[in-house]
Structure 1
Amino acid sequence: MSPRKSLAESRLTRQRILDAGLVIASAEGLEGLTIGRLAAELGMSKAGVIGHFGTKEGLQLAVIDAATAMFVREVPERARGVARGLPYLRAACEAWISYLERELLPGGCFFTAAAAEFDGREGPVREAIAHADQLWQRELRLNIRRAVSLAELPPHTDIDQLLYEIVAIMLALNHFLQLHGDRRAPARARRALERLW
């Protein structure tokens, strides 16, 4: 086997592990993600799984990276090319609703579940979850500021309050979809967002 083929196969195996890990972690939490569980799920040895990540924490951090990449692909990337400011906020929020509505992961929003699981802890896993959340909030905040500066939103808009309300609507959407199976929740989220603009 050539080194190039071996490297390509290793990357594919790693991606298979991450894809399965993301599904498990979304529904059962990052603590429910174990090397043994993944090995059994994928028909691999524990050593074969651990060889790609080193430790359980390494696996958890890699799954957070995979979840971040999925979110970026499904939300901000779908708003790419839309004018910054209020048009971007509308497009990004619609993409965010669509991401939750399409149930790409069995546990709904990965970061909502992971934040609840790790918000009272310390360490690299919590820091990675918080960092991903901060980056997305920064993107939203920048576009709220731009919308105010372009007079797309009123000049007295409380930027932090508006950001808080956007995030709160999305958390409520995930809650009603996941806990109650409420298929009307996306429409309610859209109506709630329209009241903010």
Structure 2
Amino acid sequence: MPGDGRIARGDATRRLVLRRAVDVASVDGLEGLSLGRLATELELSKSGVFALFGSKEELQLATIEAALEIFASHVTTPARAVPPGLPRLRAICEKWLDYSEKRVFPGGCFFFNVGAEFDARPGRVHDAVASASGSFAAFIRQTCRDAVALGHLDTDPEVLAFELHALGRAANADAVLNADPTAYQLARRAIHARLGLASE
């Protein structure tokens, strides 16, 4: 059908715009996004880009969703393929640090950055960021609980999850701010030590 080609082109353009949008937002924040800016940078028609999203808020929400898919492909999906308990917990930590260190997003961890931007600002964008970040924190907590239930660790799983989450976030923040990968090395050593103590 003639309309199928237009739909396919629209989908391809949407993917192109969102891939650029997640990179821009990881550095300049979600408020740094604009339909006009993305159209200009990608040499697309401004009216065509506006037609895909309709508003800045819809663009921001679509960008969060696209970033979550990219994050999942690098961190949560491969971690879920690892056996539950301690092996999966180690995989989560390592893949999360790798994702940040390899700059899958040029600004480091997308959700750390936009979380700081929207943490005290109510609205749909805040809720979407909080939901995405919260789902990852919940994954860490559940994996810690599983590790304790399976007898792999002897520790308070809630506290352990909080500590591991904090170490990953600190590594990302320090490494991005100082352009120094040493923070990732320190985080890996701290995580290894903490998990070693919990498994004794």
Query: Under a length normalisation based on structure 1, what TM-score does the superposition of the two structures give?
Result: 0.95
> Which amino acid is the alignment partner of residue 137 of structure 1?
A
| 2:190 maps to which of 186, 189, 192 | 192
Equivalent position of 1:112 in the other structure: 112
Q: 5 Å matches for 1:116-195? A: 116-154=116-154, 157-195=155-193
Equivalent position of 1:67 in the other structure: 67
> Which amino acid is the alignment partner of residue 158 of structure 1?
D
Q: 5 Å matches for 1:30-49? A: 30-49=30-49
Aligned counterparts of 1:126 and 1:41: Cα–Cα separation in 2: 26
- Which stretch of structure 1 is more off in the superposition, 95-104 or 181-190? 181-190
Aligned counterparts of 2:138 and 2:81: Cα–Cα separation in 1: 18
Equivalent position of 1:90 in the other structure: 90
> Which amino acid is the alignment partner of residue 170 of structure 1?
G
Aligned counterparts of 2:2 and 2:183: Cα–Cα separation in 1: 52
In the TM superposition, what is the alpha-carbon distance from 1:39 to its structure 2 partner? 1.3
Gap runs ≥5 in structure 2: 196-200
Fraction of identical pairs, as percent: 44
CA deviations 1:115-151 (Å, max 9, x no partner) are 1000011000000000011111111111111111111
In the TM superposition, what is the alpha-carbon distance from 1:80 to its structure 2 partner? 3.1
Gap runs ≥5 in structure 1: none
Number of aligned positions between the proteins? 195
Query: Under a length normalisation based on structure 2, what TM-score does the superposition of the two structures give?
Result: 0.94
Aligned counterparts of 1:102 and 1:50: Cα–Cα separation in 2: 32
| Cα contact 2:144–2:158 (8 A) shared by 1 | no
In the TM superposition, what is the alpha-carbon distance from 1:159 to its structure 2 partner? 2.0
Equivalent position of 2:198 in the other structure: none
Aligned counterparts of 2:40 and 2:81: Cα–Cα separation in 1: 43
| Cα contact 2:18–2:62 (8 A) shared by 1 | yes
In the TM superposition, what is the alpha-carbon distance from 1:82 to its structure 2 partner? 1.1
CA deviations 1:4-32 (Å, max 9, x no partner) are 22111110000011011111111100000
- Which stretch of structure 1 is more off in the superposition, 111-120 or 135-144? 135-144
Aligned counterparts of 2:4 and 2:194: Cα–Cα separation in 1: 53
> Which amino acid is the alignment partner of residue 191 of structure 1?
R
Equivalent position of 1:81 in the other structure: 81
CA deviations 1:138-179 (Å, max 9, x no partner) are 11111111111111111xx22221111111111111112110
- Which stretch of structure 1 is more off in the superposition, 113-122 or 46-55? 46-55
In the TM superposition, what is the alpha-carbon distance from 1:45 to its structure 2 partner? 2.7
> Which amino acid is the alignment partner of residue 66 of structure 1?
A
Q: In angstroms, what is the RMSD of aligned CA positions?
A: 1.2
In the TM superposition, what is the alpha-carbon distance from 1:77 to its structure 2 partner? 1.6
> Which amino acid is the alignment partner of residue 37 of structure 1?
R
